[in-house]
């Protein structure tokens, strides 16, 4: 799984109710977007096959690592956090529906991403494409989304 180790500023606490116990991490600091993204991706990797009861494929660590690397490349500290959801075919979709922008990115492989961008204000023409490692067009979409925040 993606590394998500405790830092010196965090500590564990456990709540026990009957035969069930739950653990959580306390932190004196606000978690960074990188930690939050890693946590969400780790949860997706833990999904079993048939997670949606319609035969949904499990999510591979490889797809999670690709998603993390892509977000690490695109996001700034001021970028709103995306929703990160599994797809039934075992992929990961990253999406924002905020500030009159719809941006969806599906991880196809380490070098291919299906992207949809829509601007509900009409200022920018919507586009949809399978892109490769040239992330300029996608990066501009994320910058626009960030600037509207």
Phi-psi group of 99: left, alpha or beta (phi > 0 → left; psi -120 to 50 → alpha; rest → beta): left
Q: Is pLDDT above 70 for 6? A: no
Q: Where are the beta strands (DSSP E) in the chain?
A: 10-17, 20-27, 83-86, 92-98, 101-109, 112-119, 127-131
Rounded Cα–Cα distance for residues 112 and 134 (Å): 10
Residue spans per domain, the chain: 31-147
If pLDDT is split at 50, 70 and 90, which confidence band does 29 have? low
Q: Is pLDDT above 70 for 133? A: yes
Between 14 and 56, residue with greater pLDDT = 56
Nearest C-alpha neighbor of 1 from the set 47, 65, 56, 51: 65
Give yes or no for a contact between 85 and 95, defined as CB atoms under 8 angstroms apart.
Answer: yes
Query: What 3-state class would DSSP assign to 122?
Result: coil
Rounded Cα–Cα distance for residues 117 and 105 (Å): 9
If pLDDT is split at 50, 70 and 90, which confidence band does 9 have? very low
């Amino acid at each position: 799984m993606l590394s998500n180790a405790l830092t010196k500023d965090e500590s564990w606490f456990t709540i026990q109710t009957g035969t069930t116990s739950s653990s959580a991490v306390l932190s004196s600091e606000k978690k960074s977007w990188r930690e939050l993204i890693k946590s969400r991706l780790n949860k997706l990797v833990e999904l079993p096959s048939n997670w949606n009861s319609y035969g949904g494929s499990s999510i591979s660590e490889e797809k999670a690592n690709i998603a993390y690397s892509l977000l690490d490349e695109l996001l700034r500290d001021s970028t709103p956090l995306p929703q990160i959801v599994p797809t039934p075919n075992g992929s990961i979709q990253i999406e924002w529906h905020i500030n009159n922008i719809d941006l969806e990115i599906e991880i196809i492989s380490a070098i291919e991403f299906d992207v949809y961008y829509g601007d509900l204000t009409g200022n920018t023409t919507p586009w949809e494409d399978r892109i490769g490692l040239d992330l300029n067009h996608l990066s501009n979409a994320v910058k626009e989304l960030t600037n509207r925040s």
